[in-house]
């Protein structure tokens, strides 16, 4: 192992959410980097086909354990954490309700951290967060979104359970760092894409109302190809000098929403879309938000100015910090990443 890493290749590593879209690639990348003592934590009901294929295809002598359990169980958390020197925490709730998402993202993280702080030899907790935590209300159109950008202070106003739970999860990690000196890194990927994702990111547009509404326009979409993202996550856990840092993960040469949609229609399938100008989409979100308040929540506030600012206002994105501190760069260039993604999508549509 290189002197730039904080652990040896035989030291135990825990990956939660290891069967997921990103998590399975994190496992694959760790194996490719030569780490040979991996514990993959999954729920009993998880589909393990992809994860098992990755493990079985590795042509090296690895000790890769699949451990089934539930992070809501403190006993399961104790078993998962035991002896691990690095934890990549990718498990998160995907429920649409606020209580369900909070329970399966924040409560589970707290249970995990309560076991982590008992291990004095522990090296680093990598919390995989999201661009969803950024507010952007006070950031001007075309401004730079980086790791110093403002995080939602009232995430409940976004009307998105995922945003709320991710903000609270990050806050919890920071609290444990202050109270218990937890060594941590927070990784915030942009719009992760690649084979396995069957939809177009909402930052491009939505089909909620039966017709695809193109809301992104000339906005740059903060794409990161899943393999590139996984490598950034892996490096954030093993590289020296990264403790206490936050890393945004986006690829180079980001396309505009309009460019991406044109390529999608050309390479996957053509479909009708209607472009909604920025000023009009903002007005619609304001009207929806206003009616939701007037009706006292009878109309859920799923479209509002906070969400508009976060997803459709339009910004410039930076990956400079990850490149400089982690030595990371997107290994799969955009053209190749899009080719793989479109090929998968086309097969899925057939």
Q: Can you give the CATH number for the domain in which 242 is found?
A: 3.40.50.720
Domain count, the chain: 1
Q: Does 196 have pLDDT greater than 70? A: yes
- Poorest-pLDDT segment among 19-23, 46-50, 122-126, 213-217: 46-50
Supply the pLDDT for residue 350: 73
Decide: 150 and 91 in contact? Cβ < 8 Å.
no
> Structure tokens of 174?
């920071």
Phi and psi torsions of 175, nearest 5°: -65, -45
Q: What is the mean pLDDT of residues 259-288?
A: 96
Whether residue 290 lies inside any domain: the answer is: no
Strand partners, 220: 256
Q: In the structure, what pLDDT confidence band is assigned to residue 131 with cuts at 50, 70 and 90? A: very high
Q: What is the mean pLDDT of the chain?
A: 94
DSSP secondary structure of 292-325: HHHTTTSS---S-HHHHHHHTS--EE--HHHHHH
Q: Does 1 have pLDDT greater than 70? A: no
Supply the pLDDT for residue 59: 62
Whether residue 295 lies inside any domain: the answer is: no
Domain around 79? 13-196+222-254+315-336
Whether residue 136 lies inside any domain: the answer is: yes
Whether residue 217 lies inside any domain: the answer is: no
Whether residue 158 lies inside any domain: the answer is: yes
Whether residue 279 lies inside any domain: the answer is: no
Whether residue 55 lies inside any domain: the answer is: yes
Q: Does 323 have pLDDT greater than 90? A: yes
Supply the pLDDT for residue 327: 97
Whether residue 271 lies inside any domain: the answer is: no
């Amino acid at each position: 192992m290189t002197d730039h890493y904080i652990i040896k290749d035989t030291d135990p590593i825990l990956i939660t959410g290891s069967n997921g879209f990103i998590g399975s690639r994190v496992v694959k990348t760790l194996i490719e980097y030569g780490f040979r003592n991996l514990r993959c934590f999954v729920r009993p009901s998880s589909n393990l086909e992809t994860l098992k294929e990755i493990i079985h295809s590795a042509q090296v002598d690895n000790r890769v354990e699949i451990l089934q359990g539930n992070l809501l169980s403190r006993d399961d958390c104790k078993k998962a954490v035991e002896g691990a020197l690095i934890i990549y925490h990718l498990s998160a709730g995907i429920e649409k309700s606020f209580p369900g998402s909070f329970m399966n993202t924040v409560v589970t993280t707290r249970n995990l951290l309560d076991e982590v702080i008992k291990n004095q030899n522990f090296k680093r907790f990598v919390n995989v967060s999201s661009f969803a935590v950024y507010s952007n209300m006070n950031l001007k159109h075309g401004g730079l979104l980086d790791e110093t950008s403002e995080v939602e202070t009232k995430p409940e106003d976004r009307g998105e359970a995922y945003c709320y739970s991710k903000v609270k999860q990050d806050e919890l990690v920071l609290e444990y760092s202050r109270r218990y000196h937890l060594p941590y890194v927070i990784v915030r990927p942009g719009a992760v894409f690649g084979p396995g994702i069957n939809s177009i990111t909402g930052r491009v547009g939505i089909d909620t109302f039966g017709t695809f509404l193109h809301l992104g326009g000339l906005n740059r979409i903060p794409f990161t190809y899943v393999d590139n993202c996984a490598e950034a996550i892996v490096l954030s856990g093993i590289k020296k000098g990264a403790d206490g840092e936050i890393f945004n993960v986006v690829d180079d040469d980001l396309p505009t929403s309009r460019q991406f949609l044109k390529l999608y229609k050309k390479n996957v399938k053509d479909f009708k879309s209607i472009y909604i100008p920025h000023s009009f989409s903002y007005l619609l979100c304001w009207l929806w938000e206003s009616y939701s308040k007037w009706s006292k929540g009878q109309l859920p506030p799923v479209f509002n100015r906070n969400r508009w600012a976060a997803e459709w206002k339009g910004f410039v994105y930076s990956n400079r910090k990850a490149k400089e501190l982690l030595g990371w760069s997107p290994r799969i260039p955009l053209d190749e990443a899009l080719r793989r993604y479109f090929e998968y999508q086309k097969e899925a549509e057939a």
